[in-house]
C-alpha cells in the first residue's frame, strides 16, 4: 500500500481529541516520495502528503482573504467545498474535517472524511485514490467511530 508522510500522520493524529483538537481541516493528496524513481515497470514510490492544513478559525480567514461569500454556511465546511470543487475541480484529494452543526441541545462537531475523485480523473488514479482512502480513514482517530 501507499505510505504516509511523517508530518501527515502527526496531523491526522491531532484529530483524536475533538474538543482539544487544534485543527479544523486537512486535505491530502498522493504524491511521489522525494527522490523516489521508477524502476523498470515499477512506478516511483508514492505517499500521502498534506496539501492544506487549517487550524481552528483559519477557514474564516481564508474566506475573507479570498473575498468569498459563504452565504451563512459554516466556514470550515464552506471552504472545504470551495477548495475541492472550485480551486481543484479536476484533482483527486482526500480530506478530514470537523463538521460543525447545531442541535436543540447545543452545538455539535462530527469528524468527517471525504475522498474527492472527479469524473475527469484518469481511471488508474481513481482506483488508486479509492483503494487508498481506507488507509487514510484508519489513520484518522475517531473517523469511523
Q: In this model, does residue 145 exceed pLDDT 50?
A: no
- Report the distance separating Cα 82 and Cα 100, nearest Å: 17
Q: To the nearest whole percent, how much of the chain has pLDDT over 70? A: 94
The CA distances from residue 91 to 42, 47, 118, in Å, are: 23, 16, 7
Phi, psi of 56 (to 5 degrees): -50, 130
- Report the distance separating Cα 53 and Cα 104, nearest Å: 31
Give the model's pLDDT for residue 17: 66
Nearest-CA neighbor of 79 among 60, 65, 96? 60
Q: What is the mean pLDDT of residues 4-19?
A: 83
Judge whether 76 and 100 are in contact, CB under 8 Å.
yes
Q: In this model, does residue 125 exceed pLDDT 80?
A: yes
Q: In this model, does residue 139 exceed pLDDT 60?
A: yes
- Name which of 16-20, 23-27, 37-41, 97-101 the model is least confident about: 16-20
Q: What is the mean pLDDT of residues 45-74?
A: 92
Q: To the nearest whole percent, how much of the chain has pLDDT over 90? A: 46
**pLDDT, mean over the chain:** 87
Give the model's pLDDT for residue 24: 87
Nearest-CA neighbor of 106 among 19, 4, 17? 19
CA 30 from chain centre, in angstroms, equals 11
- Residue ranges of E strands in 3-145: 3-4, 23-32, 46-55, 93-103, 106-116
User: Count of CB atoms within 10 A of residue 1's CB?
Assistant: 8
Give the model's pLDDT for residue 37: 87
Unique residue bearing C-alpha cell 491530502: 28
Q: In this model, does residue 111 exceed pLDDT 80?
A: yes
Amino acid at each position: 500500500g501507499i505510505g504516509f508522510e511523517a508530518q501527515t500522520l502527526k496531523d491526522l493524529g491531532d484529530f483524536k481529541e475533538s474538543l482539544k483538537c487544534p485543527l479544523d481541516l486537512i486535505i491530502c493528496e498522493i504524491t511521489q516520495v522525494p527522490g523516489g524513481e521508477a524502476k523498470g515497470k515499477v512506478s516511483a514510490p508514492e505517499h500521502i502528503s498534506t496539501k492544506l492544513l487549517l487550524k481552528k478559525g483559519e477557514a474564516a480567514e481564508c474566506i475573507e482573504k479570498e473575498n468569498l461569500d459563504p452565504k451563512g454556511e459554516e466556514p470550515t465546511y464552506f471552504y472545504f467545498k470551495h477548495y475541492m470543487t472550485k480551486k481543484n475541480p479536476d484533482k483527486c484529494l482526500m480530506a478530514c474535517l470537523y463538521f460543525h452543526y447545531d442541535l436543540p441541545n447545543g452545538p455539535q462537531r462530527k469528524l468527517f472524511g471525504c475522498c474527492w475523485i472527479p469524473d475527469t480523473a484518469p481511471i488508474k488514479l481513481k482506483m488508486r485514490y479509492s483503494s487508498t482512502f481506507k488507509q487514510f480513514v484508519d489513520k484518522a482517530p475517531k473517523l469511523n467511530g
